[in-house]
Amino acid sequence: MKIETVKGTRDFYPDKMRFRNWLFDKLRQVSELYGYEEFDGPFLEYLDLYAAKSGEELVNEQTYILESRGGEKLAIRPEMTPTLARMVAAKQNELRKPIRWFTIPNIWRYEQPQRGRKREFYQWNVDILGVESMDADAEVVAVTVDVLKALGLEKGEFVVRINNRYYLEELLKSLNLDLSLEPAIYREIDRIEKLKPEVFRANLEQAGLDTATVEKLETALRNRNFGDFKPLRDLWERLEQYGIAEYVEFDPSIVRGLLYYTGTVFEVWDPTKRFRRAIMGGGRYDNLITALGGQPLPGVGIACSDVTLEEMLEQLGRLPKLARTLDAFVVHYSPAERPTAIKVASQLRNGGLTTELSLSDLSLDKQLKAASNSGAHFAIIVAPAELERGEVNVKNLQTRQQQTVRVEELATILKGQL
RNA sequence: GUGGUUGUAGUAGAUAGGUAUUACACCUGAUUGUGGAUCAGGGGCAUUGGGUUCGAAUCCCAACUACCACCCCA
């Protein structure tokens, strides 16, 4: 019987794990540079937590739902923001404001896997709560830009497209649109880039708009100038002060699917359009905490997945080359030297050097080959003749140069040469 | 959930019905105290399950995977 991985899941062999750790380290470093603290929550939540605000599609179609033995409906987390909101609401008064938190949880969504999209993935979330002004939104965008730069992306390789849902609302009002049509209209607006113009027009006319209105809407959505709409003006002023205005652009067609967003919404895109989808997404959610029983507390956050980031880096040829690193590999000439080899290895480890010890009595040839394949900087060869003088051979596996070193000085000397 | 493409050793990549090829990797060896070269030798593979056929990697069906387009999204 051959058992494979569950559809849409991944094994992280050490090679892959090295990349994942590298990625997470970058995400943590940048988050912490801005004063964000890491948190985590449970893998399972009550389904009700998502029922209210996450959006029908996400909850009904994409969430893994299971029943506990006690008959309660549980959900495997399909996103992290509701957990964050629940945690914040539960201890709202004792938490220092503003709340700056980040997390990298694994998230599950029942979707058709394809490139850049799995069923289990890790999702970096950065959130700031307790700030009403656009200062918070600007900070989140700044963290986002810095993360992408830290991952090695350069200007022109990504763009943060920003909109404000209230701007869009006013726009629709100015066109005298029936507000009951809004969800349908938003949906089409969100997809405008992917749809052919004819299809876009046809869809909207089907939703009840007349041709003249559709044309006006199209023109308005092409507008890259938000005029005197204050929240966006405030935001842009800050973005300029951060020095990141060159990485962002205003795009009135950004909507986002989650119901809880209010005000600012933004997405990171690949300007070359190699990805026909957002790489990151986020926005402001001013009502979510009250929806979960807390006092009013505004929030802004962004999320992205390890899968899309990896795909993005790969497409751009920016995947880091991460070799396994090991300081020393200790080999011995014959079984008689093994006790000393063990002592030598312990000594190196006590000195803080990562050290692998050969555990077999294979020929020196084989052991050196193993040392070479281990990725170690040095092979330490414990052999009888040198041992009589209290010395071991140290071979630099890159330069192939060999030196003789007194056992007591080994750790110190190696540290100096790494 | 819908439609399409796909699946050959660890990896890459031939094979258009007749005992599966090659490269790299791997293992063994080349007078026994030194790894990456060279040489010689070696093991391992047609996703799975059915069907057609004297005979299937090859044709047909199904399942599964990955990928692509919808859908949606990170």
pLDDT, residue A224, reads 86
CA–C1' gap, A110 and B51, in angstroms: 34
Strand B footprint nucleotides (protein C-beta < 7 Å): 1-3, 26-28, 32-36, 47-48, 64-74
Average pLDDT over residues A395-415: 92
As a whole number of angstroms, the distance between CA A410 and CA A404 comes to 10
Query: Does A186 score more than 70 pLDDT?
Result: yes
Residues A203 and A60 in one domain: yes
Sheet holding A402-406, edge to edge: A355-357, A326-332, A376-382, A391-396, A402-406
pLDDT digits (tens, 9 = 90+) for A363-378: 899 999 999 988 899 9
Is A380 within 7 A of strand B by CB distance? no
Q: Which of the four pLDDT bands, split at 50, 70 and 90, describes residue A294?
A: confident
A274 Cβ contacts chain B strand, under 7 Å: no
Output the CA–CA distances (angstroms, integers) from residue A371 to A94, A237, A250, A329, A342, in the order listed.
54, 57, 55, 6, 15
Would residue A386 count as lying in a domain?
yes
Share of chain A above pLDDT 90, in %: 56
In a domain, A9, yes or no: no
Query: Tell me, what DSSP letter sits at residue A330?
Result: E
Q: Check whether residue A267 and residue A164 sit in a common domain.
A: yes
Contact at 8 Å (CB) between A266 and A282?
Answer: yes
**Number of domains present in the structure of chain A:** 2
Establish if A306 belongs to a structural domain: yes
Task: State whether A302 and A384 are in the same domain.
Answer: no
Q: Which two tokens stand for residue A109?
A: 């969504």
Looking at the structure, do residues A334 and A294 belong to the same domain, yes or no?
A: no
The strand pairing partners of A102, in sequence order, are A38, A126
Question: Within this chain, do residues A26 and A138 fall inside the same structural domain, yes or no?
Answer: yes
pLDDT tens for residues A262-278? 899 999 988 876 676 78
pLDDT digits (tens, 9 = 90+) for A2-43: 577 888 888 888 888 899 999 999 999 999 999 999 999 999
pLDDT confidence of A56, banded at 50, 70, 90? Answer: low
Residue with tokens 């040839």: A365
Q: Does residue A128 sit in the same domain as residue A218?
A: yes
Angstrom distance, A2 CA to B61 C1': 22
**pLDDT confidence of residue A20:** 92
Q: Is A76 helix (H, G, I), strand (E, B) or coil?
A: strand
Based on the domain organization, do A310 and A362 belong to the same domain? Answer: no
Strand B reaches within 7 A of the A276 CB: yes
Q: What is the pLDDT of residue A61?
A: 78
Q: What is the pLDDT of residue A1?
A: 52
Give residue numbers, 38 to 57 of A, with CB < 7 Å from strand B. Answer: 55, 57
Give the Cα separation of A29 and A51 in Å (integer).
Answer: 34
Given a cut of 60, is residue A299 above it in pLDDT? yes
Question: So what's the pLDDT on residue A182?
Answer: 75
Residues 6+ apart with CB under 8 A from A191: A200
Please state the ipTM of this predicted complex: 0.84
Tell whether A334 and A195 lie within a shared domain: no
pLDDT of res. A55: 62
- pLDDT of residue A52 exceeding 90, the answer is no
**Sequence-distant (≥ 6) Cβ neighbours of residue A149 within 8 angstroms:** none
**Which residues form the domain of A353?**
326-417
Residue A294 lies in a domain: yes
Would the pLDDT of A140 be above 70? Answer: yes
Paired with A37 in beta bridges are A101
Alpha carbons A288 and A114: distance in angstroms, whole number: 31
Is residue A97 located within the same domain as residue A119?
Answer: yes
* pLDDT attached to residue A292: 82
CATH code for the domain in which residue A194 is found: 3.30.930.10
A295 touches strand B (CB under 7 A): no
Per-residue flag: A26 CB under 7 A of strand B: no
Domain harbouring A369, CATH code: 3.40.50.800
Q: Which residues pair with A332 in a beta bridge?
A: A382
Q: Categorize the per-residue pLDDT at A255 as very low, low, confident or very high, splitting at 50, 70 and 90.
A: confident
pLDDT band at A218 (very low <50, low <70, confident <90, very high): confident
Give the pLDDT band (50/70/90) at residue A171.
Answer: confident
Is pLDDT at A58 greater than 80 in this prediction? Answer: no
Q: What is the pLDDT of residues A77-109, one digit of tens each?
A: 999 999 999 999 999 999 999 999 999 999 999
Q: Say how far apart CA A107 and CA A122 lie, in whole Å.
A: 6
